[in-house]
Structure 1
Amino acid sequence: MRVTMSEIARLAGVSPATVDRVLNDRAGVRGRTRSIVMEAARQLGYFGLTETQKGKAVRIVFFLPEGPNSFMRGLRTQLLEEAQARPEVSVQVEEVVNPGPDAYVAALRAVEGKCDAIGIVAPDHPMLREELTQLSRKGIRIATLVSDISAISKVGYVGIDNRAAGRLAGLLLGRFLNHGKRHKIAVFIGSLAYRGHEEREMGFRSLLAEDFPELEIVHFGEVGDDRSKAYQQTRQLLERADIDGIYSIGAGNQGIVQALKETRKSRDVVFIGHDLTDTTRTALLDRTMDAVIDQNPRIEAREILRMLSAAVRGEMEPEYPPRLQVIFRENIPMR
């Protein structure tokens, strides 16, 4: 059956008249609205089924930042393992070296015409937003993973609510420390270029301001998810100041753990971080860390593959926000 303009209008959230203007290339429609209508028309099969929609394997390329980040290495493994169980998809994982906007743009341009969909963990930057929008207009389905990117035409975002995760970290830290007494807090962030890290910081600060004003952030360090930088900053801080709590927003936890152990302050400082890795698992067991806020990379890999493959085949799948899970020494899940 022929797809009607009314069906496209319902999916795009616009009027049939707007759909008519877009499909007949008439003036008077904003660029973003035009992109939304064209995406809805493609998804519904208005232009006919592509070869991929007829049954060929969906070609998906994932872009992850290259580096020592243990969570990203685990996510890469989960994406490849999940793909092996899905014959309807063909997955390639590209690790972006020196992962700034220029490197991401170059990597995206290198796969144009060679994939049907893209999943990406990347900084939220104007150059990258423009490149992703252009790829979307050419029919490539886009989904963000772990850290969202604003104002782009995408299928959806798969990842935790990072602002809620930051608020949860603030609640944990505040409850672990004694009430009614001023405490000095250090915050380490991977990179403010990542929207997810920025949102965690916002959530953390807002919770402290609301519920624990006696907790004072005396150090804020951007470490680029580099364990060496995290170690150096933590070691210097612990040697010159009395710190009661540490919140690690991104990676680099191995360096913080090393500094706490070397200064023999593991039991004196409340340490909250993110993502269950080999490093954070060991740190929980030996009580260097007090709690880890985890997102499940296996579920995230499953959901983004489901979302992208469905979109390429002209189907709609809702966004899936994985649940936040707090892991302590006593409830560490089995491997």
Structure 2
Amino acid sequence: MAHLFLVKDIAFQAGLSTATVDRVLNGRPGVRRQTEMRVKAAIAELEKQQPGAMGSGRMLAIDIVMETPQRFSDAVRAAFEAEMATFLPGIFRCRFHFAEVMKPAELAQLLDRIRLRGTHGIVLKAPDVTEVAAAVARADAAGIPVVTLVTDLPNSARIAYAGADNRAAGETAAYLIGEFLGSDGGGKVLVTLSSGRFRGEEEREIGFRRVIRARYPDIGITEISEGHGTDVATGTLATAALAADPAINAVYSIGGGNRAVLAAFDMAERPVRVFVAHDLDADNRALLAARRIGFVLHHDLKTDARSAFRAIMSRATALPRTVTPSLSSVEIVTPYNMPAPD
């Protein structure tokens, strides 16, 4: 297998031992197909990251760990790869560990494996649960900085949070929906969460409910959760909610699965008066362009990537930590101001 990289670099990127990588590269027997694919994927990642790394003698290898639907992890990967190529004076190399659903124990085990294998830092999107906080504490005790991404673990040993003000985002959604339904005879909002374990989603919901309660008391709220942002599970929950409540006529999608939610409305032959979603991923771009959703609350993931890189660099180098990462701003995107994809 042709490559331009050291075995140890491929092993680090793939999360395998150097002996295993050596067996794969030299075509020795006894290697599983899955292991061979991991090595090939690692080499492909290194090839993408190589142009930036050639510009400096210093390299910081970090791990991005996320429990999230693929449509969002794809957007995060693109943002980190774009920032990685331009971030100076440090050069970053990233390993990505993404899964749509992970048990807390599995997440903690993954963080422990990364800690024991070695890394300059971890960027983490994970539920705010005891097992994950304990694994973050173990990483911090080992001198490995952890930065939380888009959803925080405020009571953990993480060194910084990179993301938007989630409570303000929820309040913004409430304003958009409230002003629309308030002039349209009222109704009830279906609020969708991927899981109640994520602090960021909880804060969005708190902000949303606070403004609806204070400014639009005639608007009701029905919540569904634990669909994990996947279409099948979220669609099933949305279908059941619509069957149980004929008053639902709006959606605030905190956790994703928007195509499935819209399909549930279509199956029930029910109109959606206003639909507010989060994140300008590929699905939401298409739905916004087709006028299936009205607003997307978007923040720049590349800003979050920059914040995470700076926080990790400050711990991994002699640079002083003089600046706390600022929250990224939330932009209201409509079909008329949707930015072009990167």
Measured in 2, the distance between the counterparts of 1:234 and 1:134 equals 39
CA 1:307–1:219: 2 relative to 1, 3 Å: closer
Greater relative contact order structure (CA < 8 Å, 6+ sep): 1
For 1:294, give the aligned amino acid.
H
* Residue matched to 1:321: 327
* Residue matched to 2:59: 57
CA 1:90–1:198: 2 relative to 1, 3 Å: same
For 1:333, give the aligned amino acid.
P
Q: Map 1:115-264 to 2 at 5 A.
A: 115-179=119-183, 181-239=185-243, 241-264=246-269
Measured in 1, the distance between the counterparts of 2:146 and 2:331 equals 27
User: Does 116-125 or 276-285 show the bigger shift?
Assistant: 276-285
Q: Map 1:307-318 to 2 at 5 A.
A: 307-315=311-319, 316=321, 317-318=323-324
| Alpha carbons 2:288, 2:334 under 8 Å: kept | yes
Q: How far is 1:262 from its partner?
A: 4.2
For 2:110, give the aligned amino acid.
A
For 1:74, give the aligned amino acid.
A
Q: How far is 1:311 from its partner?
A: 2.3
* Residue matched to 1:102: 105
For 2:67, give the aligned amino acid.
P
Measured in 2, the distance between the counterparts of 1:287 and 1:90 equals 39
For 1:248, give the aligned amino acid.
S
Measured in 2, the distance between the counterparts of 1:125 and 1:250 equals 18
Q: How far is 1:217 from its partner?
A: 1.2
Q: Map 1:271-310 to 2 at 5 A.
A: 271-310=275-314
Provide Cα deviations, 1:295-320, integer angstroms capped at 9, x if missing partner: 21122122211221232113213212
Measured in 2, the distance between the counterparts of 1:93 and 1:309 equals 18
Provide Cα deviations, 1:232-285, integer angstroms capped at 9, x if missing partner: 23234445513221111112112112233444545x421111111222122222
Measured in 2, the distance between the counterparts of 1:235 and 1:85 equals 45
For 1:109, give the aligned amino acid.
D
Q: How far is 1:150 from its partner?
A: 2.0
* Residue matched to 2:94: 91
Measured in 2, the distance between the counterparts of 1:80 and 1:138 equals 26
* Residue matched to 1:76: 77
CA 1:277–1:134: 2 relative to 1, 3 Å: same
Measured in 2, the distance between the counterparts of 1:211 and 1:129 equals 36
CA 1:98–1:290: 2 relative to 1, 3 Å: closer
SS at match of 1:250: coil
SS at match of 2:167: helix
Q: How far is 1:72 from its partner?
A: 2.0
| Alpha carbons 1:180, 1:214 under 8 Å: kept | no
| Alpha carbons 1:64, 1:95 under 8 Å: kept | yes
Structure 1 stretches lacking a partner, 5+ long: 1-54
SS at match of 1:225: coil
For 2:339, give the aligned amino acid.
P
Q: How far is 1:322 from its partner?
A: 0.6
Structure 2 stretches lacking a partner, 5+ long: 1-56
Q: Percent identity?
A: 25
| Alpha carbons 1:158, 1:320 under 8 Å: kept | yes
Q: How far is 1:80 from its partner?
A: 2.6
Provide Cα deviations, 1:51-81, integer angstroms capped at 9, x if missing partner: xxxx742221111125x44122210222133
* Residue matched to 2:8: none
| Alpha carbons 1:249, 1:273 under 8 Å: kept | yes
Q: How far is 1:147 from its partner?
A: 0.3
Q: Map 1:20-35 to 2 at 5 A.
A: none
Measured in 2, the distance between the counterparts of 1:236 and 1:245 equals 15
CA 1:154–1:119: 2 relative to 1, 3 Å: same
Measured in 1, the distance between the counterparts of 2:282 and 2:212 equals 29
SS at match of 2:122: strand
User: Does 237-246 or 128-137 show the bigger shift?
Assistant: 237-246
* Residue matched to 1:32: none
Measured in 1, the distance between the counterparts of 2:299 and 2:100 equals 24
Q: What's the TM-score once normalised by structure 2's chain length?
A: 0.76
Q: What's the TM-score once normalised by structure 1's chain length?
A: 0.77
For 2:260, give the aligned amino acid.
G
CA 1:88–1:160: 2 relative to 1, 3 Å: same
| Alpha carbons 1:299, 1:322 under 8 Å: kept | yes
Measured in 2, the distance between the counterparts of 1:260 and 1:237 equals 10
